[in-house]
Structures are given as structure tokens and as C-alpha cells.
Amino acid sequence: MAAPKLRFKEFEGYLTESKLVELTSWASGGTPAKDIPEYWGDDIPLISGASMHTNQLYESDVKITKLGLQKGSKLAPKDSILILVRGSMLFNKIPMGITLGDVAFNQDVKCIRPKQELAPLFLFQWLHAKENTIQNKVTATGIGAGKLDTADLQNLKLYKPSSEEQTKIATFLSAVDEKISQLSQKLHLLGQYKQGMMQKLFSQQIRFKADDDSEFVEWEEKELKDVVEINPKAKKLPENFIYIDLESVEKGRLLLQKNIAQQDAPSRAQRLLAKGDVLFQMVRPYQQNNYYFNLSGEYVASTGYAQIRTKLDSKFIYYALHEKTFLDEVMNRCTGTSYPAINSSDLSSIEILIPCLEEQTKIANFLSSIDQKIDVVSEQLEQAKLWKKGLLQQMFV
């Protein structure tokens, strides 16, 4: 018997332990034969690992017919919990979701149906609370994918509160999920707005005016090497520095800072950074994990980046390197398939449109203001996710 650390005040007493299998029923899915057209393309969504990117499951790009359901798949009724039990995604997270309607599911997915004394939303939140425990049960298959053993899941211990307490917990945590969903949507819309404005600004569909309301001069087309210095010769590296490699940056944000002594530095650490430098990802540049460097201290970057230094508005250059036409040309000049990469010489010869310095600054300031809003919402989202994680740890035994 046990009690949760965090509990609504009207509930008290110890909870009794049960095995998950005692409170649920389980079903395995399947996929109809792909070479029989009559099984495919109707209106029954077929859920697989690829469609489990949300907590609410009701749609899939892949659909089957009623005949396909009868011949090769299974139906998960509304309010079922689907959990992925086989796939490479399991090494990073445990995809799971609750069905908002009747859906089919494939052989990589298990359907868990709570029995009468267990509320579906409570069970769903409980499974999220146990995600780390479940993650530790993932083993590797012979082909490198992860798998979860059904018996391991069914033997998980669940302390079941009363129906009233289950409902209150599920309702509260669902409200927290809704807040997280709203922040995620706000972040997505801000990102879409930024991309739309970048396209209009760099295509000159929208132009700024000078402070005296006069028109700026026309933009000039130049090769990148004519307006920037790529990989400027570095002085001797300092004895100790902070190292930025391709794992350190995600979408313009510095996630990791690695303090390294010179003698321990990898041979790829050669870019001694100065304020205003732009780091452009050379390997898989489509990821756009570039970085505008504006920090104080001794920083050195990996040669996986092109280090770009300019006497123009460097923040404008940073945004120009994210513009779609420029990135398309970068990808055209990449070599390699699994790890497409561009070399500095090819990068330097790509043409770029350059406005006057004053217009550069106006564009950079405008896009920076959007990025600041994105950073605020992104931080709010991370804090909300951390809060939810803490609640899960304390509200369930």
C-alpha cells in the first residue's frame, strides 16, 4: 500500500497495488496484405509509429477498408490507449496516445483497454508518468530497432485511486496538456509567420523605407565571398575555451557549452570566434542549426561549421543564409547522400542579394524581434513541460 506525494486535499488514505494486466485488456494489431487493392484507401485510419506524433489519435495518412480490417488488422475503439512496442523511436521516447474515435492499428502497436474501474484518461496519464520506467524496458531487436515485451508492460504496478480521484487527476492533467498544446501551437504559428515574412522581405515583396520616408536603393547581387570572409585565419587557440560543435546548436539556440583545455580539443576545433560571427552548418545544412555568435569569452567552433565574418550587418547575413532560395542552392551544391555536405569554396560562390546597410539593419531588427517572441514562447513551453513532468512524478505512486 502507498500514497502519492501530491494529492487533492479531499482525498486521503493508502492505495492498493494491482498489476496493470489485472485492470486492462490487451490486443495486438496487424497490417492487411499490401498487394490487394480492396484492402486499402477507404476511411479507416491505420495507426502506426509514423502517425503517433500526438497524444490524441484519430487520423493517419494511411487508411484501410472494412475488408482490410477484417482480413489483416484490428480495431481500437474510442478511448483506447495505443502504445508503440516496436521501432527505432523507442530508444528516444515511448510514443503513445488515446484514441478519439475508432481506428485500426498495425503490428508494431498494442491496444490497451481499461476495464470499468479504470478511467481511460487516468490510465493514459499514468502511462506517461511511467515513461522512464517503460523506457528502461526497451531492448534491441536483431535489426537495430527497439522493442517492448508485452509481459513487462502488463506486470507494471499500478496504485488505483477511487473513480472520483481518478477523474479529478485526469481532468487537471488534461488542462495542463491543453496549455502545453496552446503554447506549441503559438510557437508553430510564430515560426510560420517568420518564414512568411522572410520570404516576402528577401523577395523584396515588402520593402522598408528610410527614416525620412525615402526609398532605399535597389539591392545588388553579389557572390557571398564578396561580402563576407569565410573561415578567417585564427590566432593560436587559447589554453582553455568553450567548444561549440554540431550537437551544441538547435535552430539558432545554443544548447550545450563544453569547456575544453587546448590539449584535449578535437582536431575539428579550429574556429576562434569573435562577436558577430555567423556559424553556418556545412553537414546536412537543411537542418538549419546555424548560430549567430554574440557572447563574451573564449569560444571555438567545430570545422563542421563555416565561420562567416562580415563588415556588413552580420545579423542580416545570418538571416539571409536561412532564406529559401539560398538554402536551395546550398543543397544543389552538396555532395553525399546520407550526410550531404557543402565545402567552403562552393558556399562562397553562391550569389546573394544585398540591400544597403541601413535596410539590412531594419530587416535584421524586424526578424530579431520575431525571434525574441519565439524564444519567450519556447521558454514558456519548456517550463510547462517541466512542470507537467514534476506533477506526474508526484501525483502517481
Strand partners for 299 = 242
Give the model's pLDDT for residue 260.
75
* DSSP string across 227-239: T-EESPPP-PPPS
CATH 3.90.220.20 for the 16-161 domain, yes or no: yes
C-alpha distances in Å from residue 164, one per residue of 50, 125, 169, 298? 35, 15, 9, 58
pLDDT tens figures, 58-111: 999 999 999 999 999 999 999 999 999 999 999 999 999 999 999 999 999 999
Report CA Rg, the chain: 27
Based on DSSP, count helices (H) and strands (E) in the chain, helices before strands: 10, 26
Distance CA 135, CA 138 (A): 5
DSSP, res 49: G
Q: Where are the domains of the chain?
A: 16-161, 163-211+356-397, 220-354
Distance CA 2, CA 10 (A): 17
pLDDT tens figures, 229-241: 999 987 788 888 8
Give the model's pLDDT for residue 251.
84
* DSSP string across 160-225: E--HHHHHHHHHHHHHHHHHHHHHHHHHHHHHHHHHHHHHHHHTTSS--B-TTSPBPPPPEEEEGG
- Name the pLDDT band for 397 (thresholds 50, 70, 90): confident
* DSSP string across 325-356: HHHHHHHHH-B-SSS-B--HHHHHTSEEEE--
Give the model's pLDDT for residue 271.
87
Q: How deeply is 386 buried, as exposed, middle or buried, from its count of CB atoms within 10 A (0-12, 13-18, 19+)?
A: exposed
CATH class of the region 220-354 = alpha beta
Cβ-Cβ contacts under 8 Å for 394 (sequence gap 6 or more):
4, 5, 6
Q: How deeply is 389 buried, as exposed, middle or buried, from its count of CB atoms within 10 A (0-12, 13-18, 19+)?
A: middle
| Sheet with 86-87, side-by-side order of all strands | 86-87, 146-147, 139-140
Q: Which amino acid is at 236?
A: K
Structure-block grid coordinates of residue 226 = 564578396
pLDDT tens figures, 161-179: 999 999 999 999 999 999 9
Helix (H, G, I), strand (E, B) or coil at 135: helix
- Same topology, domains 16-161 and 163-211+356-397? Answer is no
Of 313, 325, 286, residue with least CA distance to 203? 325
Q: What percent of the chain stands above pLDDT 70?
A: 98
Q: Give residue 339's Cα distance to chain centre.
A: 20
Is the confidence at residue 257, as pLDDT, over 80?
Answer: no
Distance CA 293, CA 270 (A): 15
Helix (H, G, I), strand (E, B) or coil at 245: coil
How large is the angle between the packed helices 163-202 and 324-333, nearest 10 degrees?
90
pLDDT tens figures, 308-320: 999 999 999 999 9
Give the model's pLDDT for residue 239.
85
Q: Which CATH architecture fits 163-211+356-397?
A: Orthogonal Bundle (1.10)
Of 307, 257, 303, residue with least CA distance to 277? 307
Give the model's pLDDT for residue 265.
67
Contact 88, 146 (CB under 8 A): yes
C-alpha distances in Å from residue 372, one per residue of 190, 368, 396? 11, 6, 37
Distance CA 195, CA 322 (A): 9
Rounded to two decimals, the pTM is 0.85
Structure-block grid coordinates of residue 302 = 567545430
Is the confidence at residue 267, as pLDDT, over 90?
Answer: no
Average pLDDT (321-340) is 93
Q: What is the mean pLDDT of the chain?
A: 93
Distance CA 374, CA 376 (A): 5
Distance CA 265, CA 369 (A): 36
Distance CA 152, CA 137 (A): 7
Average pLDDT (115-138) is 95
